[in-house]
Amino acid sequence: MIISIPAETPPEENRVALIPPVAEALLKAGHEVVVEAGAGEAAHWSDDQYEAVGCEVLGDRDSVFERGDIVFHVRGPGTVESEMYPYRDGQVAVGLFAPYEIAEETLAELAARNLSVFSLELMPRISRAQSMDALSSQASIAGYKAVLMAAAESPKMFPMEMTAAGTIQPAEVFVIGAGVAGLKAIATAERLGASTRGYDIRLEVKREVESLGAEFVELDLETEGSGDEEGYAQEMDEEFYAEQRRQMQQVVPESDVLITTAAIPGAPAPELVSTAMLEQMDSGSVVVDLSAPTGGNCEPTEAGETIHHDGVTIFGPTNLPSRVSHTASQQYANNLRNFLENLLTDGELDIDLTDEIVDSTLLVHDGTVRNPHIEDDSDDDDHSDTNTDDSGTDDL
């Protein structure tokens, strides 16, 4: 296989789909790797490093696409407004294609070019797919970075310390959502010495939260039907969210730092934290809303913006993994390598639709948009979404 690695074009995207050490492993397996000049610079991988392991570096973007049998992306054209990448008809493309937000016109164009497009957001939650789960690898980094952002902004130190000048009390950190990003946020806050609490409507994650040293917050709610068979969140009715907000009002104001990670697959993020709750937090408190790309869990959140309200700072980051671009690219490249290996049989591409991983992630194939997760207005069947979006956040 000839694998093409174009540079990422979305604004503020610093990751690269393949890093030199992983490319070297693919080259040793008999593949060729073609990289667009400068593709790895924002992730601190130079063209010289790619060439040193045997990659071919090309300055012309169209040539990079033309050469490849398969194109690896961090973010596909579904994430870039009004841009279609210069694919060659019949190619295979793998990446994060924003399947729940991608424009119908973009999907139609991908199908018209007879591409086989694999959208990693649609990865099934099965044991065999864990090494290919890009959402999880990137969500973990987002959870880590969210706590560091909060610690840097907070006027309080996180750890408890006994000093000659008196005792420093630990910062109170509350994490809403105990999926991948939430658990990493809890672990990071604990490592920094904060007094940490976590909440999730899925009571089965209580043990995971407590194993990290944090306190698990339980609310008196009826949670039946809150998750699907894969562990992803399901959208609840407004009565449920209203009661959840009422009970959470007893917890949020006590926190110095609030990290929110709640996301509903294919739907706006649930609004869990009202402006009134934030107004009860101490001046200097910090909120990092990881669900900002889909509307946010906090009422004042604005995607990509930092809001200051009544002494509280609310961050609405849209791509935290990109701010840890070196590590995030390393993790993502390993996800892609493992995914490619699953696609190959005796070194040849084999799109086996009986394979659950292939079937779940294949967004466009054989001239059609064929993934059942994507709503087709011409189809009367009622399909329901079961996976998270590409924001790298959790489900609640």
The confidence score (pLDDT) of residue 377 equals 40
Give yes or no: 61 in active site.
Answer: no
The confidence score (pLDDT) of residue 236 equals 65
Please report which residue ranges of the chain form alpha helices under DSSP H.
20-28, 47-52, 61-67, 104-112, 134-153, 180-191, 206-211, 238-248, 275-279, 325-343, 356-361
Strand partners, 4: 34, 71
Catalytic residue among 60, 62, 130, 246: 130
Give yes or no: 232 in active site.
Answer: yes
Catalytic residue among 125, 197, 245, 337: 125
Domain boundaries, the chain: 2-133+324-369, 139-322
The confidence score (pLDDT) of residue 163 equals 93
- The residue behind tokens 């110095």 is 256
Sites in the chain below the pLDDT cut of 50:
225-226, 376-396
DSSP 161-204: EEETTEEEPPPEEEEE--SHHHHHHHHHHHHTT-EEEEE-S-GG
**HSE toward the beta carbon, residue 326, CA cutoff 13 A:** 3
Catalytic residue among 232, 245, 322, 325: 232
Q: Whose CA is closest to 255, among 310, 312, 302, 192? A: 312
> What is the C-alpha separation between 367 and 194, in angstroms, rounded?
53
> What is the C-alpha separation between 101 and 94, in angstroms, rounded?
17
Same topology between domain 2-133+324-369 and domain 139-322: yes
The confidence score (pLDDT) of residue 376 equals 44
Catalytic residue among 4, 119, 136, 330: 136
Q: Does domain 139-322 have CATH number 3.40.50.970?
A: no
The confidence score (pLDDT) of residue 69 equals 97
Give yes or no: 125 in active site.
Answer: yes
The confidence score (pLDDT) of residue 265 equals 75
Give yes or no: 136 in active site.
Answer: yes
Q: Tens digit of pLDDT for each residue in 199-227?
A: 998 888 999 999 999 999 988 776 554 45
Q: Whose CA is closest to 231, among 354, 123, 98? A: 123
Q: Which amino acid is at 335?
A: N
DSSP 50-83: HHHTTPEEES-HHHHHHH-SEEEEEE-GGGSTT-
> What is the C-alpha separation between 328 and 320, in angstroms, rounded?
10
Catalytic residue among 47, 133, 390, 394: 133
Contacts (Cβ under 8 Å, ≥6 apart) of 62: 86
Q: Whose CA is closest to 145, among 190, 188, 111, 90? A: 188
- The residue behind tokens 């579904």 is 78
Which CATH topology does 2-133+324-369 take? Rossmann fold (3.40.50)
Burial of 54 (0-12, 13-18, 19+ CB in 10 A): middle
The confidence score (pLDDT) of residue 81 equals 67
Chain center to CA of 265: 12
